């Protein structure tokens, strides 16, 4: 259970695009060279980011990519969901509510069922909670906030050197 390399590449590419002293359009060549990823593969990723409105792309001479909105409004969650899809973290495979009566007192009049009629599995419920926690955290971190952090460190290091 790990985020894919595509997500890695996407995040780093966006950080490059979000750099304050970038010119408007960054070509796939520059991105490819910077990240050390092949142009062909990286362009697939950028294409996906474009389809989901994270970046804009312009073909032709001097074309390239740029962020479609301010870096502060591109969250980690946004990027991850584009690359990894929006399925939920966990799905109970016993959705047919078969003999899913984990807690059935055999022979009792009122078996306690772990899953109730409304298709609600308690395991799934816990995992949904986990997912919500995760997503909330990922939403609080944006391309911009990471850039800020990087610059903060830069200046701290500068200060220490003197």
Partner DNA sequence: CTATTGTGGACCTGTGATATCCATAATAAA
Partner DNA sequence: TTTATTATGGATATCACAGGTCCACAATAG
By the rule CB under 7 A, 41 interacts with DNA: yes
By the rule CB under 8 A, 24 interacts with a copy of itself: no
What distance in Å separates the CA atoms of residue 162 and residue 149, rounded to the nearest whole number? 21
Nearest approach in angstroms of CB 154 to DNA is: 28
By the rule CB under 7 A, 153 interacts with DNA: no
Altogether, the residues listed in the chain come to a count of: 162
By the rule CB under 7 A, 139 interacts with DNA: no
What is the number of other CB atoms lying within 10 angstroms of the CB of residue 57? 17
By the rule CB under 8 A, 43 interacts with a copy of itself: no
What distance in Å separates the CA atoms of residue 143 and residue 74, rounded to the nearest whole number? 6
Stretch binding DNA (CB under 7 A), from 58-66, 72-80, 112-120, 145-153: 58-66
Indicate which of a copy of itself, DNA, none lies near residue 24 (CB less than 5 to 8 Å, by partner kind): none
**Can you name the residues that pair with 142 across neighbouring β-strands?**
75
Which residue blocks in the chain are alpha helix, DSSP H? 5-18, 28-35, 39-51, 76-84, 122-139, 143-161
* Contacts for 121 with CB less than 8 Å, ≥ 6 apart: 92, 94, 100, 114, 115
Q: Please report, as ranges, the residues that interact with a copy of itself according to CB under 8 A.
A: 1-5, 7-9, 11-12, 15-16, 19, 21, 33-36, 76, 80, 84-85, 87-94, 96, 98-103, 105-106, 110, 112, 114, 116, 122-123, 126-127, 129-130, 133-134, 137-138, 141, 146-147, 149-151, 153-154, 158
């Amino acid at each position: 259970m790990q985020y894919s390399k595509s997500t890695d590449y996407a995040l780093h590419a966006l950080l490059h695009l979000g750099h304050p002293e970038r010119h408007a359009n960054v070509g796939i060549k520059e991105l490819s060279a910077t990240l050390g990823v092949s142009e062909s593969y990286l362009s697939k990723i950028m294409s996906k980011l474009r389809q989901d409105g994270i970046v804009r792309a312009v073909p032709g001479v001097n074309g390239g990519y740029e962020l479609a909105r301010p870096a502060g409004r591109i969250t980690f969650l946004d990027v991850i969901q584009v690359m990894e899809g929006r399925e939920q973290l966990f799905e109970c495979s016993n959705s047919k509510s078969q003999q899913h009566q984990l807690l059935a007192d055999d022979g009792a009049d009122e078996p306690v069922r772990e899953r109730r009629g409304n298709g609600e599995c308690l395991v799934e419920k816990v995992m949904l909670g986990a997912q919500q926690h995760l997503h909330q955290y990922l939403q609080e971190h944006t391309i911009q906030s990471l850039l800020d952090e990087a610059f903060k460190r830069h200046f701290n290091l500068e200060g220490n050197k003197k």
